[in-house]
Structure 1
Amino acid sequence: MARDSILWLINFLRVKVNDAESSIWSDDELQNYLDMHCIHLIREPLLCDPDWKLYYSEFGMLEADVSLWDSELAGAIEIPNSNYTVNLVEGTFRFANSQLKRYYMNAKSYNIHGAIAECMEQLAMDQNRAKAWNRGSVTFTHYDLLEISRYHRRLSGMRNTNTVRTYG
């Protein structure tokens, strides 16, 4: 069963690969494709605006179990998530009041274009699923599916497989 913290990403991916009815991929399959393109961020220093209210990461598409810390050191204190609002797509954290301190993030970031490319490649290799994936009067050939995959590979940049990025 798919992790609860990643369900929003699975639903987002379903929309991107035109499988809203879950007729082609199970949640576990989509989770596996997402996990193939995951970066684990450990104590990533966040940037902030001049008011010290908005903090942001260079990474987005975050799993929902993200956490903020007041230090990159071992004895750091976790900031309660009730103190801020998070935008998982953008990787931003907004506080109501000025914080005047640095924060660090533990999170998992997903390359959605890499996961879309995986889905399209798998679909191109499986004739039964490809037939079930036709969209209305539009029919996609093996070549079309591979072209869609190539397009998303180009957008995805480097291919990530369980990269761990540690700061400090």
Structure 2
Amino acid sequence: MNQLSPKLASELAANVYSLIDAEDADIFGNTYIEKYFAINSKGIGKTGGFIFNRQSGFAVMGLGKGQYLGDAIIAIRGTQLIADWGTNAQLGLSVGDGNQIVHAGFNNAFASLRQQIATFLDKWRISNPGKAIHFVGHSLGGALASLAADWASVN
């Protein structure tokens, strides 16, 4: 398995911040990223919890090229909008997919991504058995990337 370089991981995590609303956008016009991954730049997910609960460009998914051919990438942004602070402020605990105790806001935000990630990975796994899934994120996105990686490892 090819690991992401720190530069590539940070570029992916940083570029997701450019996608605010769940609209098509050319946020990954970064030639360094495009050398390694073809990104679907339609954002997925909701943020804000019970107060704001806003559809948001929260994560993107893509397929590897070159040395990452066949790999999948999921990049998740961190706190950017006022609604994201609603996610961060849900300080309670809940039970995550792996029966672990997790931050309630992070768990709720991941739940808004789960079905679209599952659909993407189900299709991807058919033609790419044994290939790697790379999860990257910054701040809130890092927490969600960890939850997504744990979930994907058993699903």
TM-score bracket for the superposition, by shorter chain length: under 0.3
Higher helix share: 2
Higher relative contact order (CA 8 A, sep 6+): 1
TM-score of the aligned structures, taking structure 2 as reference length: 0.26
